[in-house]
């Protein structure tokens, strides 16, 4: 999942990496928090996923929003794109590291590869038998 179209290269890197490692990948692009209705369209799909890679620049809010909607691992990827005081991804990184939602794991700036590997590894774990 990516917040904006500028996050697309990092999102694709994560998706292609996870696919290469055998994971089934669903792509959701341009669903940033500036238009929360775009995220809400995908809530059912998000809740049925085994792991979520959420890529965002700017303030990096999307992973926290998504993690608040699901009970799945969220791998947050800050990107170096953005304008204003984004500081080449540092603002997004710090925002993601300070998320108050449990279950958010943060990889380094622009690290789509690392996020894709982590998601594929989570996807290989056995499914819980008694999901509530």
* Residue ranges of domains in the chain: 5-123
pLDDT of residue 131: 54
Which residues, in sequence order, are bridge partners of residue 77?
55
pTM of the model: 0.92
Print pLDDT tens along the chain (132 aa): 999 999 999 999 999 999 999 999 999 999 988 888 999 999 999 999 999 999 999 989 999 999 999 999 999 999 998 777 889 999 999 999 999 999 899 999 999 999 999 999 999 988 765 455
Question: Which listed CATH number (3.40.50.150, 1.20.58.220, 2.60.40.2380, 3.40.50.1970) goes with 5-123?
Answer: 3.40.50.1970
Burial of 3 from C-beta contacts in 10 A (0-12 / 13-18 / 19+): buried
**Alpha-carbon dihedral of residues 60, 62, 66, 67, nearest 10 degrees?**
10
Secondary structure (DSSP) of 35-72: GHHHHHTTHHHHHT-S-EEEEE-TT--HHHHHHHH-SS
The CA distance from 25 to 16, in Å, is 8
């Amino acid at each position: 999942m990516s917040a904006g179209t500028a996050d697309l290269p990092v999102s694709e890197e994560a998706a292609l990496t996870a696919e290469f490692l055998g994971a089934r990948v669903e792509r959701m692009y341009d669903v940033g928090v500036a238009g929360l209705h775009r995220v809400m369209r995908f809530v059912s799909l998000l809740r049925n996923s085994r792991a979520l890679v959420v890529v965002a620049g700017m303030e990096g809010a999307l992973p926290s929003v998504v993690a608040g909607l699901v009970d799945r691992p969220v791998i947050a990827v800050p990107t170096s794109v953005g304008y204003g005081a984004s500081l080449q991804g540092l603002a997004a990184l710090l925002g993601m590291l300070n998320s108050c939602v449990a279950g958010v794991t943060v990889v380094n700036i622009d690290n789509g590869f690392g996020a894709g590997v982590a998601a594929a590894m989570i996807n290989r774990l056995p499914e819980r038998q008694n999901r509530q």
